Amino acid sequence: MNGQKLTPYTRHKLLRITLGAAAFGSSNISVAHAQDVPVEQASTDNGIGGDIVVTARKREETLSDVPISAAAIDSNIIEKSSIADIFETQYIVPGLLIDKGNGNENTVTIRGAGSAVLGVGVEPSSALHVDGVFVSRLTSLNAAYLDVERVEVLRGPQGTLYGRNSIGGTINIISKRPTAAPEFRFEGEAGSFGHIKAQGIASGPIAGDSVLARVAVQQVSESGYLDNIATGRKYGKVDHFSVRGSVLTHLDPTKDFIVHVDYDRQRDDGQGQRGVGIGLDPKDRFDLRTLGALEPRGPYEIGNDLQNFANTDVFGVSGQFDWTMDRIGFRSITGFRKDKSRAQTDLDASSVSLGNNRVDNDGRQFTQEIQLFSRGKSRLDWLVGAFFFNDKSEYGFTQALNIAHDARVGAGFLGLGGLGGFVRPPASDPATWATVSAEAQSVRTNSFAVFANTTYNFTDWLSLNGGVRYSTETKRFGARAANIYVDPGLGPVRVGTTTIPFTVIPTTLDAERDNATLRQHYNNFLPSVTLSAKPIPELMMYATYSQGFHSGGVNLRLSKAPLADAAFNPEKAKNYELGMKGDFLNGRLRANLAIYQLDYTDRQVSSVFPDPLTGIIRNITLNGVATRSRGLEFDMSVRVSEELSFIGSAGLIKTKVLRDTRPIDPADPSKGNAVVDVSGENVELNGVPKKMFSLIGNYSRSISDSLTFDGSLTWAWRARTPIYSNVGGTSTLDPNLAIPAYHLVNGQLQIRGADNGWGVGLYAKNLLNKVYYNSLFAGSFAVRREFVAPPRELGVRVFKSF
């Protein structure tokens, strides 16, 4: 406005126009996705309704002042909502979807952007940061919420500040720092299905005021909530140990150095697979009951003859150095992480011994980031930095198929063609042969980036933020694979010190390959710009344009050209976003709204094809899909009184396919594309519900001078979640695979002593005892896999602070 100040009348007129425009815009968006969790709260009596300090833009700001669609969950909400791990966060952050998947394969989806990690050639689409350190593998998602200060979920491409693989957004986990005053806390839980949790925390000075330390230890054990009718034992065992520590050193009044160390160990059964005899295509269904497979009856019964397991070990250490000068600040963040996971899965999910998978993952990474930034208030705020990333990942995959179990298996699977077909070895009866596939893959990644972010404050109410990031990345892949056919009828054979209960059939189909090192190189430039305004002190509005980048890779789980080592390109996204954040009624009402459009090009899509050599079904990642998603994210917090408060949120998403040029058969491009013309078609994103809502209520009241009563209730609802069948390159919705709409209710009652020194309470998860699924998909052997979530869980919790 030519530098003129807004009069009160003009500001309020602009506010009315803006609110009307926002309402009009949201009414034209029939569906949207992801969504802001509550604009959370800063330390209040009941922990709900205030503002919270976040570092979403790598500097401390209150959440209500950050022009980003972001959610912040602090330790108060984590405790009052009984959140045990990152997976449970999604039920109070409707825009966040986390699929535990199978074994240790996790998928994070933000704003409909997510990809499962099926091998070292594929990476996640949403980033994870722990205490400022980029974490490349989602194995770390299995770690407990141990001594966490807050969790920030940033929606939309965050490439300028957070770099690679944050095309959907990023999750920041920030642990609690050491305290100057001594602090000790013990917490214990006992609940349904043998749930036992013990946690201890100690914090305080160890060398005067100069050196402070903090350590937290936790052990969680469970006996399982599923009945395995094939073995007669409970399934779902959990044995989870975590430790986290930090040491903060005040070198002088301007320099601090903090070291974080964490270790997480899990020895679990993994998710129980409830196999249902529904195939990917009705004409090709293969009923395993004809082979004598036991059929699970109730939702909490499984029939796995193989003892599955999911074991992980994750270790991390990082150091952060901060130097604060009068007008400039310097920060260095160095991190090293190492993880190992071992998972075994019953391939057929039945009581018949037909096959199993074994997946071994090992990885280590080193990161270094430096930042130089302005301090204090000025017309120009700026931040510049550089980032280096080195990663080595190794992936081992073994699949054993016992086709010799029954003559009908060999004949049946040979007749299934693309769904389960195998190439029969010469001069061998299909009733007596089996196949073993073994693969070893590796990838080494080096990435370097420089970035800058500046904010120019035209006035005290109008600001323009701009950022750029340039990155260069090199990946080197290697793979070794062997496919062999064996005949159990020929008796055992001794190989080295191991006795194998079968004999290898010499055949020309035996294959082994050693790849020369494969190399991929990517350069990328990412810009972002945000205009934000505060026409009145209680309201901020913003408009954002940003871009995201998701690294490409190579399909290593194939064994014959032209599919072998087929590379796929990076995917890119452009984000257009309008948002507003309001603080009304003297802070008793806070509301956030964001509407966005996210345009994808070269989207990476997982499709399923038979291996040209063996006929075994393989996942392959292809480009060629362009989509447009439009979404709405809304949240609000209301403090009705000093005792009663609520947080509510809603997320909607609508998606169109703009282009799909994936081939029907990558080995034969002459067959054309899977979809010829789908421009303008509305589609449902795989694994993403159209609508999500949540509501948290908290009541806190002093009942005497020394006692306080707390009660909280959390409700979450999700619409029907579609699951795609990707066979032969086509992506078609299978009505048998959709996860039905469901809602969850969790609750907690607690009595606390004076100064929060002790407490005892009751908690309930899935209070209404709803049957719902963590995940669901169609897998090998034409069987639908259901990963059923736990039924109602009740328990008691106690804590004591010193």
Which stretch of DSSP H or E encloses residue 173? strand 169-175
* Total H helices, total E strands in the chain: 5, 46
- Phi–psi pair at 50, nearest 5 degrees: -90, -175
Query: Does position 225 have pLDDT exceeding 60, yes or no?
Result: yes
- The pLDDT of residue 501 is 45
Query: Does position 419 have pLDDT exceeding 80, yes or no?
Result: no
Q: Are 251 and 257 in contact (CB under 8 A)?
A: yes
- Phi–psi pair at 424, nearest 5 degrees: -75, 130
Highest mean pLDDT among 101-110, 484-493, 631-640: 631-640
Rounded to whole angstroms, the Cα distance separating 140 from 146 reads: 13
Burial call 159-179: b when 16+ CB within 10 Å, e when fewer: bbbbbbbbbbbbbbbbbbbbe
- The pLDDT of residue 435 is 60
Query: Does position 793 have pLDDT exceeding 90, yes or no?
Result: yes
Strand bridging mode 309-324 / 255-268? antiparallel
Contacts of 614 (CB under 8 A, 6+ apart): 422, 423, 435, 437, 483, 509, 559
3-state secondary structure 66-77: CCCCEEEEEHHH
The CA–CA distances, whole Å, from 567 to 121, 145, 197, 263, 519 equal 9, 37, 45, 35, 10
Higher pLDDT, 40 or 673: 673
Query: Does position 697 have pLDDT exceeding 70, yes or no?
Result: yes
Question: Tokens representing 716?
Answer: 């979450």
Query: Does position 801 have pLDDT exceeding 80, yes or no?
Result: yes
Which stretch of DSSP H or E encloses residue 21? helix 8-27
Q: Which neighbouring-strand residues pair with 694?
A: 649, 716
Rounded to whole angstroms, the Cα distance separating 435 from 413 reads: 13
Contacts of 461 (CB under 8 A, 6+ apart): 6, 533, 534, 535
Rounded to whole angstroms, the Cα distance separating 240 from 254 reads: 39
Query: Does position 781 have pLDDT exceeding 80, yes or no?
Result: no
pLDDT band at residue 103, thresholds of 50, 70 and 90? Answer: low
Encode pLDDT of 596-607 as tens digits: 999 988 887 776
- The pLDDT of residue 44 is 40
Residue whose pair of structure tokens reads 């980031």 in the numeric block: 369
Rounded to whole angstroms, the Cα distance separating 159 from 96 reads: 18
Query: Does position 685 have pLDDT exceeding 60, yes or no?
Result: yes
- The whole-number average pLDDT for the span 406-422 is 35
Higher pLDDT, 337 or 754: 337
> Dmax of the chain from CA atoms?
92
Query: Does position 504 have pLDDT exceeding 70, yes or no?
Result: no
Cis amide leading into 562 (omega within 30): yes
Dihedral sign computed on CA atoms, order 279, 772, 305, 613: positive
- The pLDDT of residue 34 is 30
Rounded to whole angstroms, the Cα distance separating 168 from 500 reads: 46
Query: Does position 85 have pLDDT exceeding 90, yes or no?
Result: no
* pLDDT > 70 fraction of the chain, expressed in percent and rounded: 71
- The pLDDT of residue 649 is 92
- The pLDDT of residue 619 is 66
All structural domains of the chain, each given as residue ranges with its CATH number in brackets, are 8-801 (2.40.170.20)
**Low-confidence winner among 52-66, 128-142, 333-347, 493-507 (lowest mean pLDDT):** 493-507
Rounded to whole angstroms, the Cα distance separating 307 from 628 reads: 43
Rounded to whole angstroms, the Cα distance separating 81 from 79 reads: 6
HSE of 749, CA atoms in CB hemisphere, 13 A: 5
- The pLDDT of residue 628 is 86
- The whole-number average pLDDT for the span 706-712 is 94
Highest mean pLDDT among 176-190, 488-502, 735-749: 176-190
- The pLDDT of residue 108 is 85
Is pTM beyond 0.75? Reply is: yes
Q: Are 631 and 34 in contact (CB under 8 A)?
A: yes
Higher pLDDT, 770 or 562: 770
> CA triplet 598, 660, 552: central angle to 5 degrees?
65
**Low-confidence winner among 181-185, 365-369, 520-524 (lowest mean pLDDT):** 520-524
Q: What is the mean pLDDT of the chain?
A: 78
Higher pLDDT, 270 or 184: 184
3-state secondary structure 723-734: CEEEECCEEEEC
- The whole-number average pLDDT for the span 751-775 is 92
User: Counting Cβ atoms within 10 Å, is residue 593 exposed (0-12), middle (13-18) or buried (19+)?
Assistant: buried
Highest mean pLDDT among 123-132, 274-283, 433-442: 123-132
